[in-house]
Amino acid sequence: VAGIILYIISPIDFVPDFIPVVGYADDVILPILLLVANKLLSDDTQTNPAQVRKEAERV
C-alpha cells in the first residue's frame, strides 16, 4: 500500500502527466493492477469454514 501511495505522488511516472488523459490514467490503473496482482499472488491462508466442515465429515 505504501508503494502504491508513493507511486501516485511520485514525480516519476511510466507515462508523463502532461499527456492528456493517458498521463493520469497510469496513476489510476497501475495501483489497481498492483493490488490485483498482489491478491492473485498472495498465499491465501484463510480457510473456508464450510470446506473445513465437509472435510471433517468425511473423516
pLDDT bin (cut points 50, 70, 90) of residue 59 is low
Place of cell 497510469: 26
pLDDT of residue 44: 64
Q: Helix 22-41 crosses helix 2-9 at what angle (to 10 degrees)?
A: 170
The structural domain count of the chain equals 1
Q: Which tens digit of pLDDT belongs to each residue from 8-53?
A: 777 777 777 777 888 778 778 887 888 888 888 876 656 667 777 7
Q: What is the pTM of this model?
A: 0.48
Domain span at residue 17 reads 2-58
Residue 23: how many other CB atoms lie within 10 Å: 14
